């Protein structure tokens, strides 16, 4: 599934994970808004989620995901798997056109309506029409720079915005520190 009109990127680097998204909203070939936020913090700030796809569908998924996080506190993989099972089997949910990335201090997951829950081996995930550009940029930056996870996400989104006409605008980035979570 390929969705247009956004780029969401997550990078896990050292003790940090960052997730960010561009703010551009397009209608056909016209930019309608450049400062939308496609990133949300959930579970009292312990989980960050980014979405690509139809906005109403994404908000429906976020509501369901938040309920799953309450059912399975401190277990992001289980909450994501339960959401993916519901998404795949529920007739109404199956029609939702969205993808999401969810991160916490230990996990980075891509969740799709086909039942996929994927954790990348390199800690880098991208979705949306500019996702592949952002992932390529992030992989290079992780290997060849000493930038922080949040700075790599910002730069990856900037590069994707230069290449993908459906991505751009204001960038929102959230970062979590795994060491801070481990000490609580």
Within a domain: 153? yes
Q: Specify the number of domains making up the chain.
A: 1
Q: pTM for the whole thing?
A: 0.91
Query: Could you give the C-alpha distances from 60 to 92, 125, 130, 139, 152, in angstroms and in order?
Result: 11, 22, 23, 31, 29
Give the range of the structural domain holding residue 167, as residue numbers without chain letter: 7-182
Within a domain: 1? no
Q: For the residues of 115-179, what is the DSSP string, one character each? A: S-EE--SSSEEEEETTHHHHHHHHHHHHHH----HHHHHHHHHHHHHHH-TT--S-EEEEEEEHH
CATH number at residue 174: 3.60.20.10
How far is the first Cα of the chain from the last one, in angstroms, to the nearest whole number? 38
The pLDDT tens digits of the residues spanning 52-108 come to 887 778 888 889 899 999 999 989 999 999 999 888 887 777 777 788 999 999 999
User: How high is the pLDDT of residue 4?
Assistant: 53
For the question of residue 114 being annotated catalytic, the response is: no
The pLDDT tens digits of the residues spanning 3-39 come to 457 899 999 998 999 999 999 988 878 888 899 889 9
Is the pLDDT at 184 greater than 70? The verdict is: no
Contact predicate 175/40, CB 8 Å:
no
Name the catalytic one among 6, 7, 30, 114. Answer: 6
Within a domain: 2? no
Diameter of the chain measured on Cα atoms: 48
């Amino acid at each position: 599934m390929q969705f247009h009109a956004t780029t969401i990127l997550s990078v896990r680097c050292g003790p940090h994970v960052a997730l960010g998204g561009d703010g551009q909203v397009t209608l056909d070939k016209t930019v309608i808004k450049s400062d939308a936020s496609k990133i949300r913090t959930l579970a009292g700030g312990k989980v960050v989620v980014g979405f690509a796809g139809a906005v109403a569908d994404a908000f429906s998924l976020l509501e369901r995901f938040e309920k799953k996080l309450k059912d399975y506190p401190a277990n992001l993989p289980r909450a994501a798997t339960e959401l993916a099972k519901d998404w795949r089997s529920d007739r109404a949910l199956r029609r939702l056109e969205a993808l999401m990335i969810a991160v916490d201090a230990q996990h980075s997951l891509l969740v799709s309506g086909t039942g996929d829950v994927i954790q990348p081996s390199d800690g880098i995930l991208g979705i949306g029409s500019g996702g592949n550009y952002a992932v390529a940029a992030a992989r290079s930056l992780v290997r060849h720079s000493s930038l922080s996870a949040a700075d790599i996400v910002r730069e990856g989104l900037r590069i994707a915005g230069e290449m993908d006409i459906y991505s751009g605008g204001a960038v929102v980035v959230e970062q979590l520190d795994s060491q801070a979570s481990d000490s609580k």
